[in-house]
Chains A and B, each alone.
Chain A
Amino acid sequence: MMSALEIKELAISRGGRPLFQGLNLNLGAGQACALTGRNGSGKTSLLRAIAGLLSVDTGEIAFGGQDSDQARRTEIHLVGHADGLKSGQTARDELAFWTRWTGGNPSSMDSAIDRLDIRRLLDLEIRRLSAGQKRRLALARLLAAPRTLWLLDEPLSPLDSVWRTRFGEMMGDHLRSGGMIVAAIHDPLPIPAQVLEINP
């Protein structure tokens, strides 16, 4: 299991434009970090760089001594702006596939379904779901397969206040079990977290 996330002197640019430089972050097991900053400051880019989707200019991203390619393949969950859900598929097919894909099993998937209260949605096609329901389905992936580091891009935005609280509890549980969370967010995270403000 991944024990830490260490980012040293990171610089990223997009389309020839530097987003930030000299960014540092140290996250240990059971800790969370809230990324704040104005629109376009590079919160999403930082999350994608941690996930290995985006190349960095300088600096390094390390996963507590674990091989970074290996860590990304087995220890990272990503919930981005786009949910990665196919409109024509049923919610059950989608959740089952992504659960398998990220290394979960049927029993963990079952408890994730209950936790996010999506059982009655399972036989519906994705296109029939509301934005909040889709997000809950996407968040169910986090619980359905145990992975250490959660990278969340505005995870709360389509959720109502009840679900914001409930997902806060889920994040708290994840941290207590030794997990780590990096979330790009405008509102305060509903859990204790260090705040990293990204300035251009």
Chain B
Amino acid sequence: MSLAWELLKRETALAWGRGGGPLVSAGFYLGVATLLPLAAGPEPARLAAVAPGVAWVTLALATLLGLDRLFERDYEDGALDLLTLSPLPLEFVCALKCLGQWLATGLPLALAAPITEIALGGSPALAPLVLISAMIGGLAFAFAGGIGAALSLGARRGGLLTAVIVLPLFTPPVIFGGGALDAFASGLPWGAGFVLLCAYATAAIALGPLAMAAACRNALS
């Protein structure tokens, strides 16, 4: 177990240096929050209506930051070879890599999400739900995204390819999380969407590593 802990620490640190960290994610959110009123017009009513959705979609897109390098760098410098030569199964290694990616990028993004939502004029009462669902949704995005990152190993134009593979996988969590936020904002029961989001995240955490490990083995062979 201590081996897993060592790997998690290392992967989190590496992901931090790969475009994670609070500064980059906060900057990304701030950028979107600034661009949106400039592009869509500054009327508060219009902005407030889309604020939760924008915060949510930005999270999905921001997850793509650094995702293409999740396995690519280890693949290129030979570290992925060495990671297979240990008592930990490769599936578990992949899961820890995704978790490290989430800790370094997903968590700071989740912390920035409610700020963005409020800055755009969304209701402050919505902020706790935005935070929690961004944390859980971030996990789903990281584990579904890892599949795309592992599949595009060794490909030309890896970064863009990862996005193309991953975005269809992001559809259900975007819908569930967005649905929960929307329902909450209009005073409807929001539990269903939230539970479905949790279920998708659980499924992604359970099944994603299988696909990632298979894809990594294929890329190494």
Contact = CB atoms under 8 A, between A and B. Distances in A.
Nearest to B16: A88
Contact of A102 (B2, B7, B86): B86
B86 A73 contact: yes
Given A53-B220, A55-B221, A86-B73, A101 B78 contact: no
Contacts of A83: 77-78
A74 B17 contact: no
Contacts, number: 67
Interface residues of A, number: 28
A83 B78 CA distance: 6
B125 interface: no
B77 A82 contact: yes
B195 interface: no
A102 to B, nearest CB: 7
A119 interface: no
Contacts of B73: 86
Interface string A71-110: 0111011101111111011000100011011110000000
B82 A84 contact: yes
Contacts of B2: 100
A166 B17 CA distance: 36
Interface string A10-22: 0000000000000
Contacts of A76: 85
Contacts of A97: 6, 10
Contacts of B6: 97, 100-101
A36 B6 CA distance: 38
A7 to B, nearest CB: 18
B3 interface: yes
A129 interface: no
Contacts of B17: 88
B23 interface: no
Contacts of B77: 82-86
B78 A82 contact: yes
A52 B89 CA distance: 13
A86 B85 contact: no
Contacts of A88: 14, 17
B82 A98 contact: yes
B221 A86 contact: no
A102 B217 CA distance: 19
Interface in B1-50: 2-3, 6-7, 10, 13-14, 17
A39 to B, nearest CB: 19
Contact of B85 (A51, A54, A55): A51
B203 to A, nearest CB: 27
Kindly list the 3 A-B residue pairs having the minimum CB-CB distance in the complex, ordered from nearest: A82-B78, A84-B79, A84-B78
Interface of B: 2-3, 6-7, 10, 13-14, 17, 73-74, 76-79, 81-87, 217, 220-221
11 contacts: A72-B84, A73-B86, A81-B78, A82-B76, A82-B81, A83-B77, A83-B78, A86-B73, A88-B17, A98-B82, A102-B85
